[in-house]
Amino acid sequence: MSTENEFDVIVAGAGPVGSIAAIALARQGFAVALVGPQPNGDDRRTTALMMPALDYLEKLGLPPFSPEETAPLEVMRIIDATQRLVRSAPVTFRAAEIGTGRFGVNIPNSVLLRILKEALQVEPRIVRVDAMVAEWRLGDDRARAVLPDGKVLSASLAVAADGRMSPAREAAGISVAKRDYPQSALVLNFAHSRPHGFVSTEFHTETGPCTQVPLPGDRSSLVWLVSPQMAVELAALDAAELSARIEERMQSILGKVEVEPGRQIYPMSALLPSTMAANRVALVGEAAHVFPPIGAQGMNLGIRDVADLVDVALSHRDDPGSERALSAYRSARRLDVLARQTAVNSLNMALLSDLLPAQIVRSAGLGLMAGISPLREFVMREGMQPGSGFARIASGWRKQVRR
Ligand SMILES: Cc1cc2nc3c(=O)[nH]c(=O)nc-3n(C[C@H](O)[C@H](O)[C@H](O)COP(=O)(O)OP(=O)(O)OC[C@H]3O[C@@H](n4cnc5c(N)ncnc54)[C@H](O)[C@@H]3O)c2cc1C
Where is mean pLDDT largest: 80-84, 290-294, 306-310, 346-350? Answer: 306-310
Q: What global pTM score does this model have?
A: 0.92
- 201 shares its domain with 339: no
Give pLDDT, residue 395: 62
How far away, in angstroms, is 138 Cα from ligand 1 center? 24
The predicted structure's pLDDT at residue 1: 40
Q: Is residue 31 part of a domain?
A: yes
* pLDDT tens digits along 16-29: 999 999 999 999 99
Mean pLDDT within 148-176: 98
Backbone angles phi, psi at 93, to 5 degrees: -105, 120
Residue 140 lies in a domain: yes
* CB 158 less than 6 A from any atom of ligand 1: no
Domain boundary among 268, 292, 321: 268
- The domain that holds 238 is classified in CATH as 3.30.9.10
Residues 127 and 95 in one domain: no
Q: Are residues 155 and 21 in the same domain?
A: yes
Cα–Cα distance for residue pair 267/225, rounded to 1 Å: 9
Q: Which atom of ligand 1 is nearest to the CA of 131?
A: 43
Instruction: Note whether 176 and 9 are within 8 A (CB).
Output: no
Q: Which residue has the higher pLDDT, 41 or 118?
A: 118
Q: Are residues 162 and 234 in the same domain?
A: no
Q: Look at residue 198 and tell me whether its pLDDT is greater than 90.
A: yes
Residue 314: strand, helix, or coil = helix
Q: Which residue's CA lies nearest to atom 30 of ligand 1? A: 163
Chain-wide mean pLDDT for the chain? 90
The answer to whether 243 and 250 have CB atoms below 8 angstroms apart is no
**Comparison of pLDDT for 236 and 358, the residue scoring more:** 236
Inter-axis angle of helices 323-352 and 356-371, nearest 10: 100
The answer to whether residue 389 is domain-embedded is no
CA dist 190 and 246 (Å) reads: 9
> How many domains would you assign to the chain?
2
CB 297 less than 6 A from any atom of ligand 1: yes
**Which string of DSSP letters, residue by residue, matches 184-248?**
EEEEEEEEESS--TTEEEEEEETTEEEEEEEETTTEEEEEEEE-HHHHHHHHHS-HHHHHHHHHH
Give distance in angstroms: CA of 302 to centre of ligand 1: 9
Q: Is residue 362 part of a domain?
A: no
Statement to judge: residues 236 and 287 lie in one domain: no
On whether residue 29 sits in a domain, the answer given is yes
From 234, 268, 302, give the residue that closes a domain. Answer: 268
CA distances from 24 to 21, 64, 127 (A): 5, 16, 14
Ligand 1 pocket, mutate which of 73, 146, 162, 333 (most atoms under 8 A from CB): 162
Does the beta carbon of 386 lie inside 6 Å of ligand 1?
no
CA distances from 30 to 19, 108, 233, 277 (A): 14, 29, 49, 19
Same domain, 247 and 119: no
Side chain identity at 173, as an amino acid letter? G
Cα separation, 266 vs 225, whole angstroms: 9
Same structural domain, 98 and 113? no
Rounded to the nearest 5°, which phi and psi values hold at 145?
-110, 125
User: What is the atom index within ligand 1 of the atom nearest the CA of 287?
Assistant: 26
The verdict on residue 387 lying in a domain is no
287, 317: one domain:
yes
pLDDT tens profile 30-53:
999 999 999 987 888 999 999 999
Residue 156 lies in a domain: yes
For residue 274, the CA-to-ligand 1 centroid distance in Å is 20
Rounded to the nearest angstrom, the distance between the alpha carbon of 60 and the centre of ligand 1 is: 20
Q: Which atom of ligand 1 is found nearest the CA of 133?
A: 42
Q: Domain range for residue 127?
A: 5-62+108-177+273-347
Pocket lining: 188 vs ligand 1, CB cutoff 6 Å? no
- Domain stop point among 268, 285, 301: 268
Pair (171, 189) in one structural domain: no
Specify the range with the lowest mean pLDDT, choosing from 55-64, 76-85, 249-258, 354-363.
354-363
The residues with which 179 forms a beta bridge, in sequence order, are: 270
Report the CATH number at residue 340.
Answer: 3.50.50.60
Q: Which amino acid is at 78?
A: I
Q: Tell me, what's the pLDDT at 101? A: 87
- Kindly state the greatest CA–CA separation across the chain: 73
Q: Which helix (H) or strand (E) holds 166?
A: none
Residues 169 and 191 in one domain: no
Whether residue 167 has its Cβ less than 6 Å from ligand 1: yes
Over the stretch 307-359, which tens digit does the pLDDT of each residue have? 999 999 999 999 999 999 999 999 999 999 998 888 888 877 777 766 666 66
* Alpha carbon of 40 to ligand 1 centroid (Å): 13
Residue 381, domain member (yes or no): no
Task: Tell me the per-residue pLDDT of 263-286, one tens digit each, with 9 for 90 and over.
Answer: 999 999 999 999 999 999 999 999
279 plus 255 within the same structural domain? no
What confidence score (pLDDT) does residue 352 get? Answer: 74
Query: Higher pLDDT residue, 63 or 352?
Result: 63
Q: Are 191 and 47 within one domain? A: no
Residues in the chain, total: 403
Distance 39 CA to ligand 1 centre (A): 10
